[in-house]
Structure 1
Amino acid sequence: MAIMLTQILFIIPLLICTKAQNQQQMTTVTPVRYALILRELADVTRGREALQVKVKQYRETYDQLQRKTAADKAACRCSSNTAVAFTAHLDKEITVLGLDQPLPFDNVTLNEGNAYDARHAQFRAPFNGTYQFFASLTSNAGYQLAAQFMLNGSPVINIRTGNDNQFHTATNGLVVHMNAGDDLWVQHAHSVADSNRLFHGEGLLTTFSGYLVNKD
């Protein structure tokens, strides 16, 4: 028992001394360790500066995009007050079409922008821009029908139906640039002798429609 007590009394000072040495080593900064700390600090500082530069660049880019978006919105020509679109159809059967007579699409079901004039069966462009038009014509059985899209009095595209014992429907369309005030209509062409009848039947078979694709 005395021997064990002596050993314990010997070990305790040794442990205390060892702990004190370890604490001294932990709190003591050598020149090498100090240099490493300075290098790490410099790396962190450079990284922070690089991030700050990137953040500044991103902010400048974002501000530029914001200004561009605002300018685009201010210059946008696609607001609802420029909407132009119409649809009209034949409201009765036509048995005799006159030479070069505009086809009478007199029943108007849509006329956004009021650019279509049913009295003269023609469309007048309210703006400079690109427009698209479609027409479907139905002829009586045994008759064929020839017509043309007319732009300011000049033909730009043709439509022609067949002429067997059934009524026939022909459809054509075009995309065209028009200036404000230009007129477009569908006109009976006299190139075919018996091209003078439009079939009505149950209706909605002979139609004319168009709309503004893009304003200049």
Structure 2
Amino acid sequence: DVEKLQAELKAVQVAVAERASFRATLNGNVTANAPIPFVTAYDVGGGYDAITGVYTVPISGAYFFYCQLFPSFLTTLNIDIMCNGNICARSRCYDKVEQSSCLSAYTAHFNAGDKVWVKPNVGGSYWGGVHSFFSGFLVSPDP
């Protein structure tokens, strides 16, 4: 029946339109206390800006954000996940014996247009690629 197929098509179009996710990896040095301009590996929904390092939420709903940084030197590292200019999550890693990665994650409701980025307290050289990255995805859109 044509009406049933049209309804199914509409449901699929809505489901596809309400997707948002990204993953960006590090490629270069990091500046302390500033957003990290990760290199975009993929971006569904077009929210991540690789020049500024800021993710602009495209669809209102519940989101999960995750960041991992791996400094190539011994340090005490804070990773702040920033939400509209405020710290919404902080991880602190104290590595004075051997190098290790530090990670931070945050889940909350965000409105379309909200800004999220990662800010470390220590600048310098970090391992790139699979060692240092920032990612996020829409868990469920607002009804």
TM-superposed deviation, 1:172: 1.8
Measured after TM superposition, the shift of residue 141 of structure 1 is 2.8
* Partner residue, 2:34: 101
Matches within 5 A, 1:1-216: 79-94=15-30, 97-98=31-32, 100-105=33-38, 107-189=39-121, 195-200=122-127, 203-216=129-142
How many residues are matched? 137
Give yes or no for contact 1:137–1:198 (8 Å, CA) kept in 2.
no
Q: Partners of 1:158 and 1:178 in 2: how far apart?
A: 18
* Residues 177-208 of structure 1: per-residue CA shift (max 9 Å, x gap): 1111100111123xxxxx3334226x321100
What CA distance in whole angstroms lies between the structure 2 residues aligned with 1:93 and 1:204? 15
Query: In the alignment, what sits opposite 1:9?
Result: none
- 1:82 corresponds to which letter in structure 2? E
Per-residue deviation, residues 29-59 of structure 1 (Å, max 9, x unmatched): xxxxxxxxxxxxxxxxxxxxxxxxxxxxxxx
- With the length of structure 2 as denominator, give the TM-score of the two structures: 0.83
Q: Deviations over 1:134-167 (max 9, x none)?
A: 0001123322221211110010110222222422
What is the RMSD computed on CA atoms of the aligned residues?
2.4
Unaligned runs of 5+ in 1: 1-70, 190-194
In the alignment, the residues of structure 1 paired with residue 20 and residue 50 of structure 2 have an alpha-carbon distance, to the nearest angstrom, of: 15
Counterpart-to-counterpart distance in 2, 1:165 and 1:130: 38
In structure 2, what residue type is equivalent to 1:102?
P
Greater strand share, 1 or 2?
2
Amino acid at match of 1:214: S
* C-alpha displacement of 1:77: 8.6
**Contact (CA 8 Å) 2:66, 2:134: kept in 1 or not?**
yes
Task: Please say which structure displays the higher CA radius of gyration.
Answer: 1
Q: 1:132 to 1:118 in 2, by over 3 A?
A: same
Amino acid at match of 2:37: P
Q: TM-score, normalised by structure 1?
A: 0.57
Higher helix share: 1
CA apart distance, 1:126: 1.1
Q: Which amino acid aligns with 1:85?
A: S
- Check the 8 A contact 1:133/1:209 in 2, yes or no: yes
How far apart, in 2, do the equivalents of 1:127 and 1:186 lie? 20
**Sequence identity of aligned pairs in percent?**
27
